Structure 1
Amino acid sequence: MATRRSVIKVSLSTLIALVLVLYLWSLSTERVQQDLVPAPSEMAAKPVPDFTDFANVEEKKKAFFDYLRPEIEAQNQHILGIRHRLMQLQRKVANNEPLSEKERQSLVWLKKEYRVDSNVNPQDLAQTANVIQGLLNRIDIIPTDLVLVQAANESAWGTSRFARRGYNFFGLWCFKKGCGFVPSRRKEDAKHEVAKFPNLTRAVYTYLRNLNRHDAYRELRQIRANLRANNLPITGSDLAEGLVSYSERGHDYVEELQAMIRFNEEYFTE
């Protein structure tokens, strides 16, 4: 009997230790995520302005762009910060320097978040270098002018119910029941909903991540990579060429975005 109790005691001890390890790992992963995902600004959770209040078209445009621009610019700066850290890691790997545990955890989390399909064995520098390069190809800015005109186009200048009630200015879908709004024209056999977000920060983050990781926008990322490789400006008009798959309208949609960029240039800076 004593032997049996001893076995049970050891088993419980092992289980407790395992639970503790998993708990500590989850806390560590949560800290990594908090470091890599932008925190909502004070303004981000405030109600979306009622843009129908503006009778003057020029004033409405200015109010719309002024509302979205600070969040877009802040998140692009956040992205550039992550790129800078990735390039630091890239230099460490090239110099055969070991990565810290936090650095390895950051790579693992980013690899999953941006769907980089590559192994990441912390002891294999070649694999780690491939992961970092894959992340650098995906984690990069989307020009403010392109984000602004897409938001205007997809949300009817902020007047759609998805924008007003769920911060969804970009027509983003989700596929879990209750995750958003059921579109009024959704086909009977369709399961998607129009995503609802708790604040503007999360909405913009999800939109930027969507362009930076979805296979449909691989061409956009390639255009951007080519511009960077040739030390050329990353412009909204150039990257719009990679958004053919964003709308059923295809190339007509791209041309409309490019025309909106040209026509509204004066509103893109403060």
Structure 2
Amino acid sequence: MHKFFQVAALGGIIAVAGYGYYNFESQKSATESVVSKGKAVSKAPDFTAYTDVNEKKHAFFSYLKPGIALENLRIEKERERLVRLKENLESGLMSDSDIDDAKRLSHLYQVEMQGDVVTSDWIDNMLHRVDVIPEALVLTQAANESAWGTSRFARTAKNYFGQWCYSKGCGVVPLQRSEGMTHEVAKFKSVQESIHRYFMNVNRNQAYFDLREIRFQLREDGADLLSMNSAMEMSNGLLKYSERGEDYIQDLQAMMRHNEQFWTN
């Protein structure tokens, strides 16, 4: 389970340690352009009811894929906006609308603008964070962290990625929490919110800088960032997602190799 994502639920607001606040419920301005082109996941089926393992895997991946696609579509739209900002900056055609968009994205990804000024360095830093995450990696982490959607936290908290929170009442108290520990497993209003929080965590948290650097180099090399090969490469940047470190990464990679047939068919 992931110990490095600290969240505190305050109404619809999620606080990420060191990265400010992001209000999932009021993200309309950030996502309204892509919602009509994608489909968020709905209520989860009862994955405990499946007796055939292969059927359960197909159902699990099929259930989560639309929500993952929606998040990647949102990110692609944000990258397109950043590329346009860079073009406008270089041509000297920055508008008030450009500045407003830059401020919004700066707040969302917590990459500070000095004096509300858009610079090439700021855009480059943003493009390092604002990028897609391969479906294969997201699906595999969800399967690993939620026990294929059957874990107590997946069923009662809609938490598919093992996110923790540290405010009393922010989530579900683990049954085997060690004495002196105060964390809870974050509770979300929807599975889509859990997916969204995973994406924002990986793209903002300093703990996953290595994944973002691997992704950046893959993009520089012209690789398909959504491919299985890219997913395998990026998984190496998740050492801090679990206390298990390298063993966790090896488990993810083995799961990806073993289960690829269930999300590609």
TM range (shorter): 0.7 to 0.9
Q: Distance in 1 between matches of 2:238 and 2:263?
A: 20
* 1: CA distance, partners of 2:146 / 2:116: 43
Partner residue of 2:84 out of 65, 83, 88: 88
For residues 184 and 30 of structure 1, the distance between their equivalents in structure 2, rounded to whole angstroms, comes to 28
Compared with structure 1, are the counterparts of its residues 165 and 37 closer, same or farther at alpha carbon in structure 2 (3 Å cutoff)?
farther
Of 200, 203, 213, 1:212 maps to: 203
Greater RCO structure (CA 8 Å; 6+ sep): 2
Change (3 A) 1:206 1:115: same
Q: Indicate the RMSD between aligned Cα atoms, in angstroms.
A: 2.3
**Contact conserved, 1:71 with 1:201, CA < 8 A, in 2?**
yes
Equivalent residue in structure 2 for 1:134, among 118, 125, 131: 125
In structure 1, the residue matched to 2:61 is 65
The one of 41, 44, 47 equivalent to 2:41 is 44
Give the Å deviation of 1:213. Answer: 0.7
| Structure 1 CA distance for aligned equivalents of residues 136 and 120 of structure 2 | 33
Q: How far apart, CA to CA, are the structure 2 residues paired with 1:32 and 1:55?
A: 39
Contact 2:39 2:66 in 1 (8 A): no
CA deviations on 1:221-251 (whole Å, 9 max, x unpaired) are 0000000011012221010000011111111
The percentage of counterpart residues that share the same residue type is 42
Which residue matches 1:237?
232
**Structure 1 residue runs of 4+, over 6 Å off?**
29-32
Count residues in correspondence: 236
Match of 1:260 among 255, 258, 262: 255
Does residue 250 in structure 1 map to residue 245 in structure 2? yes
Q: Which amino acid aligns with 2:105?
A: L
In the alignment, does 2:158 pair up with 1:161?
no
TM-score (structure 1 length as normaliser): 0.81
- Which has the larger share of helix? 1
Corresponding residue number in structure 2 for 1:79:
75
Counterpart residue number, 1:227: 218
- State the alpha-carbon separation in 2 of the partners of residues 33 and 155 from structure 1: 26
Residues 62 and 31 of structure 1: CA distance in aligned 2, closer, same or farther (over 3 Å): closer
State the SS of the aligned residue for 2:185: strand
Deviations 1:7-39 (A, max 9, x none): xxxxxxxxxxxxxxxxxxxxxx99994121465
2:41 and 2:66 in contact (8 A); partners too: no
Cα distance in 1, alignment partners of residues 238 and 209 from structure 2: 9
- Alpha-carbon separation, structure 2, partners of 1:42 and 1:210: 21
Partner of 1:34: 28
CA distance in 2, matches of 1:192, 1:247: 15
Which residue number in structure 2 is paired with residue 269 of structure 1? Answer: 264
Q: Which residue of 1 aligns with 2:116?
A: 121
Aligned equivalent of 1:19? none
Structure 2 residue 166 is matched with structure 1 residue 170: no
Letter in 2 for 1:245: K
Displacement of 1:268 in angstroms is 2.2
Structure 2 counterpart of 1:167, one-letter code? K
Q: Distance in 1 between matches of 2:25 and 2:175?
A: 40
Say which one has the larger Rg.
1
Instruction: Identify the match of residue 178 of structure 2 among 169, 172, 187.
Output: 187
Aligned partner of residue 149 in structure 2, secondary structure: coil
Structure 2 unaligned residues grouped into runs of 5+: 1-22
- TM-score computed with the length of structure 2 as normaliser: 0.82
